[in-house]
Amino acid sequence: MTAFIDRLPTVARIALGGLFLLFGANGFLNFLPPQPPLSAEGGAFIGALAATGYMFPLLKGTEVIAGALLLSGRYVPLALTLLAPVIVNILGFHLFLSPGLALPAVILALELYLAFAYRDAFRGVLGASARPVARRSVHSASLADAHA
């Protein structure tokens, strides 16, 4: 049982990465079967995104890149950060415009679990009192070295 628990972040990372790589690539290559018709509101929203000419390539490109990062196991916190607003939008779309929460709920659960599993990487971003690092100029650094 402990071996499975130790592997759970890897399983979740591969599952989330695979989902986003699959659906992101489908946005460019259209290899999955057509989806059932959307509600009128859902169709209007998707139509508005498509009408911009840039939103779907940006969205699907982000999904492909983040999915590939998750599958590779490199830059996982960056991939999770890139996917967070995409997942919020997916959840909102399925809550308010098109019924069907099963897959969005799984995606949200995977994202939240992985964010928790990689919480140390987010510690600095979530600091309430973050301060910038003081930058020392080359001149002041050389003066400090001269006095040492």
pLDDT at residue 62 in the model: 98
- Tokens encoding 137: 């100029």
First to last CA, the chain: 57
pLDDT at residue 139 in the model: 63
Query: Alpha carbon of 86 to those of 6, 61, 78, 111: distances in Å?
Result: 28, 12, 13, 11
**pTM, rounded to two decimals:** 0.86
pLDDT at residue 148 in the model: 60
> What residues make up the domain containing 102?
2-147
pLDDT at residue 133 in the model: 86
pLDDT at residue 4 in the model: 83
**In total, how many domains does the chain have?**
1
Q: What is the mean pLDDT of each run of 10 residues along the chain (148 residues)?
A: 90 98 97 92 95 97 98 98 98 93 97 97 88 75 59
